A and B are shown apart, each in its own frame.
Chain A
Amino acid sequence: MKKIFRLVAVVAATTLAVTALVAPSATAAPKVKVGLAYDIGGRGDKSFNDSAAAGLDAAKKKFGVSAKEVTVTTGSDAEREDKLRLLAAAGYNPIIAVGFLYAGPIKAVASDYPNTQFGIIDDSSVALLNVAGLVFAEEQGSYLAGVAAALASKSGKIGYIGGVRIPLLQKFEAGFVAGVKATKKSASVDVKYVTEFPDFSGFNDPAKAKVIAKGMIDKGIDVIYSAAGGSGAGNFAAATDAAKAGKKIWTIGVDSDQYQTASADEKKNMLTSMIKRVDRAVYDVIATAVVGSSVNDVLDATAGIYGRQYNLALDGVGVSYSGGYITKYKAQIDKAAAAIKSGKIKVPTKP
């Protein structure tokens, strides 16, 4: 039965594509209505969810698509599924879910709506032809951030603050530590998480992150990478406080180029940001929908998944040069990036 659905989906998609080609441009193409489902926090978290929102905004501007954004409040699988189902029933297509907790719900809804295209950020476990898994090589970007951190640190003591101790965040940790160690053998990395799963507040608890960052600074750590969503603000605040006391502490942001949203004081200490192009993945899915093709066109054969892995080679992760503080390390960073792309360096994904 499902196979027939898939067949129908493929046929329908092809017909659509063909009609789009054949139809004279005068007849306006059916307007694309995008559904974007955030996880807890939603638009405005200045980090992960906002990165997805940026992708949507860019697509709106470029293609003039309309969109409906939804957020979960209680955070149950049933609620996530209901939200996706509401979007699908209301005719939104494509529908993009932000966060791996949507994996189960999207699987259920996508099987019921074979003609709707779905995308899911940070998960590649859904093996359906109308679902694109959009995952990132966070460890590769974090490796480069680690290279920059090792080169910028005077004390050789470096800190990593993760939001919540979950496998996804441990990928950031593993890559960062590997990058530091490969650049400066003697350097040490202090690893701390704001909260332990199932307490997801660690992604949005700047006060706690600030205490952790202060503790690190007291130990002589002078570069701190915070991969902690909204909690990163605490790291930046601790560095600003230290600067007032005459101590230079470098901070490293995450997901989006946090230099762009930082205050003037924070900018002075923001070494770089590990950029994870969630916006790009969202944009790509919408772009394929606009030209009327299926999300399978985002399929990445080399990654061996239903979807695409955004890595260094695809420019899906990387470090930002805003502020110009790491411009002098560019040669070393580019060298590491080239080695990762060529496969000479295999970055670990587990600490």
Chain B
Amino acid sequence: MKGFKPSGFLLALAAPVAAAVVSIIISSLAVLATHKSPIDAYKTMWEFGTTSGSLMQMLNTATPYYIAAIAIAITFRAGLFNIGVEGQLRLGAMFGAYLGAMFVLPPVIHILAIMVIAMTIGGLWAAIAGYLKVKRGVSEVISTIMLNSLAGGLSSYLLANRFMDRTTASNNMSTKEIPASGQFPDLMPLLNKLGVEDQPGGGVYGMLLFAVVLGVIFWFVINRTRFGFELRASGANPIAARVSGVNSKRMTFVALALSGAVAGLAGLPAVLGDTHAFNMGFRTGIGFSAIAVALLGRNNAVGMAISALLFGFLEVSSRSLELIDIAPETYVIMQGSILLSSVIAYEVVRRYKITLQSNELAKVAEA
């Protein structure tokens, strides 16, 4: 099907290359509009972004993006759209941090217990949308968006009134610190052995390895199991799937709940690897950026890893822009233009392919 015919190969390359060119042009124009040199901007970003410390930060930024993108891809593959990842990961991280600080277990088991808590909470929260979709026909797009607001309100209420550790004097509300047995070890000692030197503020979340494993599981389940086949079938053509014996309602519910469970984990890299508590500084917006990561990565395990790394690189390297007096928001423009131009490029290439195919078919029919 996808032979290495020169035209096919070129077409596959055309979309990402065109997208990259267009987004570079747009970002450069944005920088030029502020009377600064885009070359300087890219040079500074590259110099800062490729230091070992920044590369570590890139990995740390990409890890939650990747986990959240997998959560979204599960629903995309099933023909659904879970926009509620933001709320699911927030609640998962908060409950995981709060409950995880209440007990002490042997090291590995403690971390697993926190993960199970986070997955359960995220999964249950998304299951509400699944139930509404299956039983009441409510679009999951609407319900998951609204559940995000509810999750935000619920988390702030619980943190302020129930979960907050009142022994600290800080204005930053925070849960109690998770005991050492529940803290995910950093990869730095391991990297030291591989010859990577310590960096100020450096460190790589241990959850990175977990994210890689999760990516492999995702690829295997979706592409190599019956469950994955049924999931894709009900996404590609619900009616055909139903006729051939797939319980598409069950698949819808399971896909959303599973997506929520994975999403529940996306807040944990920072909680288990850095803050060891859930506090007001907990990053918002991962769930939304991850939609872009999933779209850019075409819901593919490897593709999403590349796009998560790309977003991580842009985000971290753009932090240097302010030192040369370029607006840090340039990064937002880059992110947006990459996403927009790649979606458009893929669509253009897809249509071009269809025209090519129908032309060929027409030739065959004539002959």
Contact = CB atoms under 8 A, between A and B. Distances in A.
Contacts of A122: 171
A83 interface: yes
Contacts of A168: 171
Contacts of B285: 74-75
A73 to B, nearest CB: 5
B231 to A, nearest CB: 32
Interface in A152-178: 165-168
A199 B151 CA distance: 11
Interface stretch (A5-13, A104-112, A289-297): A104-112
Contact of B201 (A70, A85, A199): A85
Contact of B152 (A82, A86, A198): A198
Contacts of B244: none
Contacts of A81: 201
B91 to A, nearest CB: 12
| Most chain B CB atoms below 10 A, which of A69, A79, A100 | A79
Interface in B219-276: 270, 274-275
Given A125-B168, A167-B173, A78 B280 contact: no
A166 B57 contact: no
B172 A79 contact: no
Interface string B158-171: 01100000001111
A90 to B, nearest CB: 6
A124 B282 CA distance: 20
Interface residues of A, number: 40
Contacts of A196: 152-153, 156-157
A76 interface: yes
B332 interface: yes
Contacts of B281: 75-77, 80, 101, 104
Nearest to A105: B281
A197 interface: yes
B171 A167 contact: yes
Contact of B155 (A72, A76, A79, A198): A198
B57 A90 contact: no
A114 to B, nearest CB: 12
A346 interface: no
A100 B170 contact: yes
A112 B57 CA distance: 17
B347 interface: no
A199 B168 CA distance: 23
Interface stretch (B23-31, B118-126, B320-328): B320-328
B331 interface: yes
Nearest to B282: A198
A71 B275 contact: no
A311 to B, nearest CB: 16
Contact of A73 (B201, B320, B331): B331
Contacts of A71: 322, 328
B314 to A, nearest CB: 11
| Most chain A CB atoms below 10 A, which of B61, B170, B275, B320 | B170
B316 interface: yes
Nearest to A92: B323
Contact of A74 (B172, B270, B315): B315
A68 interface: yes
A137 interface: no
A77 B283 contact: yes
Given A77-B281, A78-B57, A198-B282, A124 B169 contact: yes
Contacts of A123: 170-172
Interface in B316-353: 316, 319-320, 322-323, 328-329, 331-332
A168 B279 CA distance: 14
A134 interface: no
B319 A82 contact: yes
Contacts of A100: 170-172
Nearest to A85: B201
A83 B152 contact: no
Interface string A298-309: 000000010000
Interface in B287-331: 315-316, 319-320, 322-323, 328-329, 331
A78 B203 CA distance: 11
A51 to B, nearest CB: 17
Interface of A: 68-83, 85-86, 89-90, 100-101, 103-104, 108-109, 112, 122-125, 165-168, 196-199, 305
9 contacts: A74-B285, A77-B275, A78-B270, A82-B57, A86-B323, A123-B170, A123-B172, A196-B153, A197-B159
Given A76-B270, A166-B173, 12 more contacts: A68-B322, A75-B283, A82-B57, A82-B316, A85-B200, A86-B48, A100-B170, A100-B171, A104-B172, A104-B279, A165-B156, A196-B157
